[in-house]
Amino acid sequence: MKSMLILIKRISMTAVMLSIITAVNADEKNVPEPFKGDNPSSSYSILYDDIDVLFRGTVLATGMSDRARAKESSAEIGSRIKTNVNSLTALEGNRFFYEAFETEEDKAILSNIRKNLEELPSTAPLKHFHKSEQLAYWLNLYNITLLDEIVKIYPKRDLEDQLEGKNSLLNKKLLKVSGVTLSLNDIHHKILMPKYDNDPLIIYGLYQGVIGGPNIRREAYKGETVFSALKENAYEFVNSNRGTYADRGGVFRVSSLYERNEDYFPNFKSDLKAHLEKYIIGDMNYYLEESKRIRTNISNWDITDLYGSKRKSNSSSATSEAALLDAGSSNNDALPEQLKGAGIFTQGALSDTFSRLSPEISRFTPEQLAQIRALHFKAADNAGRVEVTDIEKEESTEEQN
């Protein structure tokens, strides 16, 4: 009888404790139920070692923009054809080594990481994590999913028709998380915007696969550093030609990305200007202050690959983007000269690298995983109940001690 009273007391305390520590923001009323709330005192962190390994070998970080224009392309000898180059932005932004994903085995690396992330909340519901940890999770899931989808259609060069319109990749129901079918736009607009108070920093963490979008980083987002990483991305983007550029006649040009995300800026021109002023530096700060008109007309829908989509048949000539986008060798196993030594995987190295990693990727340390299981997250979600058998085992252990 005493043991049963202790058991009932523990069940009640567990349910009360979980209900207290999970905070739900009033703005989250339209967020899907499994993704509402957070635990401000949670110390749990999610591991992304596999994504770190992947990105360190497939992302070429180009550094801050020097606002240089690319040279205009010219037709090759014996040809009337020349490659169209967006000279303002062609040399900007980090690049992803899409060229490395040649085989189905290579492509499965992204798909497996995506599936693993997708299933994570079934083990540990997100509401039991700090908001910053949740944000890192959603950004990583979004970016890995987009990469997984783009790899399937590569080497398509212009991605505008894939990212715009009702039938875009962003609108397709690609994911099922905690029983909820989601598109990438659902993650963005139905989860991230309301949970993070329409903070414009969010847009800088959502990789779009194109030069005209925010940077993909060389590591996964982490809960403890996610906001500083977003600020770094914002600073880089705003101070690049693909983010801002002063034109003649007092016209200040900005990325069309801001217009596509106008919901973050209720009073669009004034709110956008105030946002840009937080990050913009140098002469562009002066031009922004003195501008008479802001135009959202900077776009570049070219994929952020290294060279593959820009190769010309029967030619190894470099394009006008030679600093980043050498046409390379006709040998698929070779990298352009300027990429050698950059820490980028060669083709075929992806599968070899990931075959040495454990096939069962754990997102938690063994200690955290044990704690998560002890809290019975899944059972606690079911009307505050826990499994009696587990507590009886715990009680038996205590009595033996």
Q: What radius of gyration do the chain's Cα atoms show? A: 24
> Using CB atoms within 10 A of its CB, is residue 289 exposed (0-12), middle (13-18) or buried (19+)?
exposed
Asked if 281 and 289 touch (Cβ cutoff 8 Å), the reply is no
Residue 373 banded pLDDT, cuts 50, 70, 90: low
pLDDT at position 377: 44
Mean pLDDT of 351-362: 63
pLDDT at position 367: 78
Give CA–CA dist 295/254, Å, rounded.
6
Asked if 259 and 217 touch (Cβ cutoff 8 Å), the reply is no
Tell me: the pLDDT tens digits for 165-184?
999 999 999 999 999 999 99
- Mean per-residue pLDDT of the chain: 81
pLDDT at position 341: 55
pLDDT at position 352: 72
State the residue range of the domain holding 236.
Answer: 2-400
Number of folded domains that form the chain: 1
**pTM given for the model:** 0.81
Tell me: the pLDDT tens digits for 19-63?
335 566 658 999 999 999 999 999 999 999 999 999 999 999 999
